[in-house]
Amino acid sequence: MTISNKNSKNNLWAQLSGTLAFAIAFTAPAYSADATDTAFEKKHPEQYQSWLATSEQVEREDMLANYPAAVILWAGSSFAKEYNSPRGHHFAVADASHSLRTGVLPADGKKGLSASCWTCKTPDAPRLMKELGVEGYSAKNFAELGTEINSVVYCTDCHEKGSAKLALPRPHAQDAMAKVHLPFEKQDINMQGSQVCGQCHVTYYFQPERSNKVNIPWIFGNDADKIEKYYDTRRFYEWLHPISRTPILKARHPEFEHWSRSVHAERGVSCISCHMPESENKDGKSYTNHQVGKAMDNYAQVCQSCHGNKQALLTKLEDGKHQIESRARKVEGLLVKAHYEAGAAWDAGANWAVLNDAIMAIRHAQWRWDFAMASHGLYAHNPKEGIQLLDTAIEQVTYARKALAEILSMYKVESVAYPDYSTKQAAHKAVGISLEKLTAEKKAFIEAELDKHWPKVSRHGYE
Ligand code: HEC
Ligand code: HEC
Ligand code: HEC
Ligand code: HEC
């Protein structure tokens, strides 16, 4: 089933709003949620052209190949199938559509992945929330709404329709900023700039009791401890790990959270300062560069005034990256072992009463590891917090393994078989994921549905 503009209710609405649009066309500036509207191109050529240029940022990395242990840690969820680093905003819709994580159309009567997955890809998401209600939208399947997604991250994702004024069109983001006492309307332009990014570059979960609507778990605050407290209080988990039966928590790109506690945030250096710096057009007129991309490409315009020595800054970045990566690999190795040791304890007859303590420690360690690893650019945004998170994760998983060692000896288990995760292929094999099968299913879905019925934007970069 698909919902389309052609059904009768929407048609009436389209006619009404068509008349309305005609009536205001002479007075209102030409902003619209529709990316095919070329009026912007003429009215704001610099902003429009630089926005368009995010389609040049084609490169990305296969994160599961970079750290295959993640396949084991995320076993039981779609994250173990495919996970890439981010690239230009122009690919947002097509990458989400082609990922093995968003799967294929569910069989009749089966519930598929929630449409909430569209929320941070497109201005059509807030539009559909308005049309269907927030829970009406999130109750739909991801694939079911594919025909409705016309645009990638666009002007109305960050601006009020009809003006350059910044806006937060996503209700979950409005709520979240209020939870951490930063209500959007009351912030200066600098904080508002970061908040528009923080609609999407933020951790979230789908709230099961509210039709899987997006919720940002910041009631107690937005660091790893406070978010964990929220989840623990609610006894929430995303899935049960198939080996250890750990109730897993999953972090998603908490860039806003990490930035908000950084030395840069303290000094008023926002996401915009580094990723959308002021530029000049050929007539010397300044404008905000809308090609959101690598910050180090803007060294001369942005960083230099405070970090005068480029080489020293590069060394600082490399050092932060190395410190984070080396700790992360260590946590991963320990966590893989812990999952399999818990698995062996279950097999030997241990029960929840015996394993609870160790399993909670695995949950908490993996949460901190994930809160660090899912945060793209952490080594640049807040290396200190990244290092602290991973050091705590090492303590927690070490504690878990110590408890597990005692349990295993109690049950006379002498050795535990650990999986081979030396490559992505080996790790997939270890947890029974067949990429060939999943890829063939996805290909058939793309050919039958996406290529035939979905708007062009869903194929950007894949044709
Ligand atoms: C990801 C968020 C985002 C998107 C998408 C976006 N903008 Fe902006 N825009 C900003 C921010 C942030 C500023 C700077 C606000 C400030 O600091 O004054 C800005 C500033 C502007 C300005 C004010 C003049 C200037 O250059 O500073 C105009 C006009 C503008 N944008 C037009 C557009 C148009 C047209 C589009 C769509 C093609 C668009 N924006 C898409 C975030 C966005
Ligand atoms: C509507 C949601 C949304 C908003 C708003 C948004 N982003 Fe993104 N951003 C994404 C998604 C999704 C991707 C990944 C796209 C992909 O890989 O296909 C991304 C990718 C990126 C990348 C990676 C680019 C590259 O070439 O590697 C950066 C940097 C980035 N965003 C920064 C920002 C900043 C800064 C802002 C605020 C000005 C912002 N984003 C606003 C959703 C959003
Ligand atoms: C002090 C400058 C600075 C600030 C402030 C900053 N970033 Fe970054 N960001 C970087 C650097 C440096 C990197 C590493 C790669 C690069 O962009 O050169 C990075 C990386 C990223 C990436 C990963 C890009 C990729 O392809 O892997 C994303 C996404 C991102 N930043 C989003 C944000 C968001 C959202 C904010 C605000 C909440 C923000 N950044 C604030 C400098 C900054
Ligand atoms: C307004 C001044 C200012 C700007 C602009 C600025 N920084 Fe910084 N940055 C600082 C200060 C101050 C510190 C803390 C002292 C230090 O470590 O040098 C810092 C620290 C850092 C750190 C270490 C962070 C930590 O927590 O240890 C990195 C990495 C960094 N900056 C990268 C960048 C990059 C990349 C850019 C440009 C995209 C940039 N900065 C722009 C002022 C600035």
Q: Which atom of ligand 4 is nearest to the CA of 298?
A: 38
- Which residue minimizes the CA distance to atom 31 of ligand 1? 164
CA 290/CA 49 separation, integer angstroms: 8
The residue contributing the CA closest to ligand 1 atom 40 is 155
> Which ligand 2 atom sits closest to the C-alpha of 158?
5
- Flag whether pLDDT at 461 surpasses 90: yes
Q: What is the pLDDT of residue 104?
A: 86
Over residues 359-408, the pLDDT tens digits come to 999 999 999 999 999 999 999 999 999 999 999 999 999 999 999 999 99
Please give the pLDDT value at position 90: 97
Q: Rounded distance, CA 272 to CA 276, Å?
A: 5
What is the pLDDT at residue 27?
29
The C-alpha torsion from 245 through 247 and 248 to 254, rounded to 10°, is: -170
Judged against a pLDDT cut of 50, whether residue 268 lies above it is answered with: yes
In the chain, the percentage of residues whose pLDDT exceeds 90 is 87
In angstroms, the CA 383 to CA 57 distance is 25
| 5-14, 32-41, 258-267, 392-401: least confidently modelled range | 5-14
Range 399-418 average pLDDT: 98
Which of 11-20, 95-104, 109-118, 181-190 comes out lowest in average pLDDT? 11-20
pLDDT band at 426 (very low <50, low <70, confident <90, very high): very high
Query: What's the confidence (pLDDT) of residue 108?
Result: 80
End-to-end CA distance of the chain: 26
Residue type, 445: F
Question: Separation of 200 CA from ligand 2 center, angstroms?
Answer: 8
Rounded to whole angstroms, how far apart are CA atoms 174 and 182? 9
Q: Which ligand is nearest to the CA of 267?
A: 4
Q: What does the alpha-carbon distance between residue 35 and residue 51 come to, in Å, rounded to a whole number? A: 11
| pLDDT above 90: residue 220 | yes
pLDDT at residue 179 tops 80: yes
pLDDT for the residue 162: 76
Task: Compute the average pLDDT of residues 52-73.
Answer: 97
| pLDDT at site 36 | 52
Mean pLDDT of all residues in 181-191: 96
Mean pLDDT of 233-243: 97
Q: Which two tokens stand for residue 227?
A: 């978010």
**pLDDT for 107:** 83
pLDDT band at 13 (very low <50, low <70, confident <90, very high): very low
Mutate to test the pocket of ligand 3, among 255, 296, 307 (most ligand atoms within 8 A of CB): 255
Rounded Cα gap, residues 59 and 69, in angstroms: 23
- Residues flanking ligand 2, CB < 6 Å: 57, 86-89, 91-92, 95, 120-121, 153, 157-158, 196-197, 199-201, 271-272, 275-276, 292-293
89: Cβ–Cβ under 8 A, 6 or more apart, which residues?
51, 54, 152, 153, 292
Tokens describing residue 425 = 């292929």
Summary mean pLDDT of the chain: 91
Q: 383-410 vs 352-373: helix axis angle to the nearest 10? A: 160
Token pair recorded at residue 184: 């959007």
Q: Please name the residue whose Cα sits nearest to atom 15 of ligand 3.
A: 294
**315 burial type by CB count under 10 A (0-12 exposed, 13-18 middle, 19+ buried):** exposed
Summarised one tens digit per residue, pLDDT across range 22-48 is 333 322 222 334 555 567 778 899 999
* Model pTM score: 0.93
